Chain A
Amino acid sequence: MNYLLNIVIALPLVAFLLALLLPRNQPGIIRVFALAASIVIFLISLGLIAPFWFHTPHGWSFETDLNWIASPRIHYHVAIDGVSLWLILLTTLLTPICVLLSWRYISKRHKEFYAFLLLLEFGLIGVFCSIDLFLFYVFWEISLVPMYFLIGVWGYDRRIYAAVKFFLYTMAGSVLMLAAIIFLYNAAGGTFDYMEIMRRLQGGRLGLSSESQLLLFLAFFIAFAIKVPLFPLHTWLPDAHVEAPTAGSVMLASVMLKMGTYGILRFCLPMFPNAAHQCADWIVTLAIIGIIYGALVAMVQPNMKKLVAYSSVSHLGFVVLGLFTFTQAGMDGAVYQMLNHGISTGALFLLVGFLNERRHSLEISAYGGVATPAPGLSKAFMITMLASVGLPTLNNFVGEFLVLQGAALTNFRWAVFAAIGVILSACYMLWLYQRVFFGRATDDLKHHMPDLNAREWACILPLIVMMVWMGCFSQSFMPPITTSTSGILAQTAAMTEMHVRTLKPATRPVMQVATGAWVDGRPR
């Protein structure tokens, strides 16, 4: 049973290698193979839910710990908790959808395209379940390479600029993280193992001076913040999104951005709690600027993909805000919002891709009245758009509500400013919908706008089902998340408490969190 996770990690790699062996001139075989492989991987990955089904285990499931390199001590150590579980499932769900949506869109170099998609899946799954920091870094970098090629080879006009910018931004951040990882290895007495480092931190065997804790925190945080992306490190994102092929945009927005927020949640907060509390005000300020700035910039975009890209900056701001409220509600909301954003923004990119395949334009002004010739597409877009706006009964509402609740508990002003972002998101999304789907359709547009076909429905329907399911029955997903985040929160709080006495008196709200007063989401 413990091998299930290893199988889920290994299968995309095996599929990638097999895909490379397929004949180059038979796109049909390659597509079918990629689809079959990714669906099989998804079905197998569903088995990961089993231990979380009836009661949620505290701690880790599916743990495997094997020696990889003796010196320095590097292990192949993987395991999942409630947060990793859903992010892995998000990855495995979106990969077959990406294969399916590229069916007609990719017209050249099929073999390499689907191979890179599978390699990307391998890297992403690895990132979400690595316990060994070194292994985490390895997967982190591996996922960079296929995305670079996806943007660079199959992207639009400015793809080369976008691909290189994407690679260099991430690389610059991740080398700092590598330095921090090595430093931590030495400080921890020779281990990259996250669990072991946490045990040593809690047992007081690994003491970091407040200065080095701050530097380590920043080194990790900058790497993650570039990936999230947090304002003002976001400038690579619109370029990468706009130039990437649809499948690339979907994977980038839905899963790759979560690598950053996942990293913050998993590593930055529990390992360096003092520094996290110390920087929280600054980071939250940047997150709120990102929320409002992203929404405002999205509003004036003439290009649909750019609009969705900037809306991502805004939505990811919510996630960062939720994490740095240090409340149960905020963290739950942040994790839930990661999944929501993955589903709904993925769906938005997918639908924009469908529009683009029909009309060969991403400019909003090229559309108008699409609802007349393509009612199915319009309905799908409407549900997705409303989900993205945060309409109750759809998924984003739950996440945003929890984040705002957490923010209000910590500092009411944060909640007020963040809520402005929710209102603005309704503005730009509804306006987009109005300009694209309402109004009078030109004959030219009617001619080139067939409704969704069966394949396209197969892409979008699972996502719409998920939007409704996650919006109405959040209890299907929440318990594993809450168990994991409460564990992380407890670690964050407990260690702050231990160190607070040796530091100069902290500000009041931090002390309250530190003593665990709000650990369960409401004041005691």
Chain B
Amino acid sequence: MNASYMPPLADYIRVLPELILTVAGTLIMLLEVTLGKRGRGIPGYLSLLALLAAAWGSVVAFTVGGPAFGGLLIVDGYASFFRILVIGVGVLAILQSFQYLNRERSNCGEYYALILFSIAGQCVMATANELIMVFIGLEISSIATYVLADFLRDDRRNNESSIKYFLLGSFATAFLLYGIAWIYGATATTSLPAIRAALETGRVSITLASVAAALMFVGFAFKVSAVPFQIWAPDVYQGAPAPVAGFMSAGPKAAAFAVFVRVFITAFDPLVNRWEPFVWGSALLTMIVGNFAALTQTNIKRMLAYSSIAHAGYIMVAIAAHSEIGIAAVMFYLAAYAFMQVGAFAVISYFSRQGERYVNVDDLAGLGWRQPVIAALFTILLLSFIGVPLTAGFFGKFYIFKAALDANLVWLAVIGLLNSAVAAYYYLRILVVMYFREPGEASESVAPPTFGIQLALGASVAGTLVLGIYPSLLLNFATYSSQLGR
């Protein structure tokens, strides 16, 4: 590749979503200056348009799929799936942000621009076929998210959340970068297929490569909040604004899992016997720590943070299965999880009121009788978290544990399933409070939801039910693209 290399036109189409998102994000920041006070709503709608365009762009990119820019990126079914997934998370997050930001008097363009940049970074992660691109995508996504976590900059909880996320996140990224350096030292390449080829020749020191894999595992485990690198998640989710917490517990997490799976299945596949026990152990501990810690939480955001740790554990079970069925299960579960998690945070964004006064589980008392529709939709999401049939969460778990049993991980599957019975307890607590208690002050004073919240919640529940009743719609595509590179 010489300096005057000109990529073909198709390569630009393959990065269409990233282009659209970056251009739109920049435009919004410029527009912000020119628009007066009357134009406050415009950036929000513009960002929604940009996301829809980016989703269309992902589809177009998929039709001309293949490696782009000399193999730096690869647009396969797997990448397109995650692109659309993170874009969808962005749409749902923005829909629930309107009311929240207006309430906090912070509805300005930067917010939407940051979300668009973050999603652009996640799209790069989903398509990265090369470790430097992985790193760049991760940084674009993370830095935008660090700022989003501190978006209400006068709120001390936001400050705490952001600084924790930033410091610990940088630390983890350093591990990842160090791992990349090691593997480059060992194999003289950063391209994932080339690393694999080098490892398969057997001329590379296995010890060096294993150390590199271990360092990168630390970096990814942090990003997906897997034990023992999960400590940051509860504090960060609790402190961040509710819509942002919903966004960052679904979007960046999905992208991190996407790249985790791609790096370990593509590049480090020859070392599978060495990394699989770690993933196995981490999956086990993540499920147990997440679920048992969630049992005692009173703050609903914190509870959902621990629950999201537990869900990461289930996903790690599917990765430990190390099979194409496992990858399809990871993809399906992340889609199901994204609907549930963002939907649940839509309820919190709606219910918490100004300054997030009402974020305790007990505050929801009697919501089922004051806002029956919202409560019923939230109930469906909670049942999906528990894993009751005819919801996406059930099929997600079903496919994961089926993959684990296929791979003969019988005990991991059994412990995982028993964990999901433990988890039922804390989700049921929310149902108990919503329906079995008399309405409290917080439920009495709640105003009817705005259109944005209705749309976000309705879409999440519709997604949960559609995937729960007819999972083949998504699973067929996930199975098709679980063979990476197609």
Contact = CB atoms under 8 A, between A and B. Distances in A.
Contacts of B429: 164
B432 A152 contact: yes
Contact of A153 (B390, B421, B424, B435): B435
A171 B436 contact: no
Interface residues of A, number: 31
Interface string A108-148: 01000000000000000000000000000110011011001
B417 A175 contact: yes
Contacts, number: 80
A182 B402 contact: yes
Given A145-B388, A159-B436, A183 B410 contact: yes
Contacts of A153: 435-436
A179 interface: yes
A149 interface: yes
A144 B476 CA distance: 30
A145 B382 CA distance: 12
A168 B435 contact: no
Interface string B382-400: 0100101110001000100
B429 to A, nearest CB: 8
A141 B402 CA distance: 18
B302 to A, nearest CB: 21
B48 interface: no
A72 B421 contact: no
B436 A182 contact: no
Given A71-B476, A142-B390, A176 B414 contact: yes
Interface in B341-379: 369
Contact of B388 (A144, A172, A176): A144
B225 interface: no
A1 interface: no
A44 interface: no
B169 to A, nearest CB: 35
Interface string A161-181: 001100110011001101100
Given A70-B476, A152-B435, A159-B436, A182 B401 contact: yes
B406 interface: yes
Interface in B443-486: 470-472, 475-476, 479
A186 interface: yes
Given A138-B389, A152-B432, A69 B472 contact: yes
A168 B426 CA distance: 11
A142 B380 CA distance: 12
B418 interface: yes
B420 interface: yes
B54 to A, nearest CB: 30
B232 interface: no
Interface string B102-120: 0000000000000000000
Contact of B421 (A145, A160, A172): A172
A186 B479 CA distance: 17
A145 B475 contact: no
B35 interface: no
Nearest to B418: A175
Contacts of A148: 428, 431
B413 interface: yes
Given A69-B471, A70-B472, A144-B388, A175 B432 contact: no
B69 interface: no
A170 to B, nearest CB: 9
A69 to B, nearest CB: 5
A168 B425 contact: yes
11 contacts: A69-B471, A69-B472, A138-B389, A148-B431, A149-B435, A153-B435, A164-B425, A167-B428, A172-B418, A179-B401, A183-B405
Interface of B: 369, 383, 386, 388-390, 394, 398, 401-402, 405-406, 410, 413-414, 417-418, 420-421, 424-425, 428-429, 431-432, 435-436, 470-472, 475-476, 479
Across the A-B interface, the 10 shortest Cβ-Cβ residue pairs: A175-B417, A138-B389, A172-B421, A171-B421, A152-B436, A141-B389, A182-B402, A171-B424, A182-B405, A175-B421
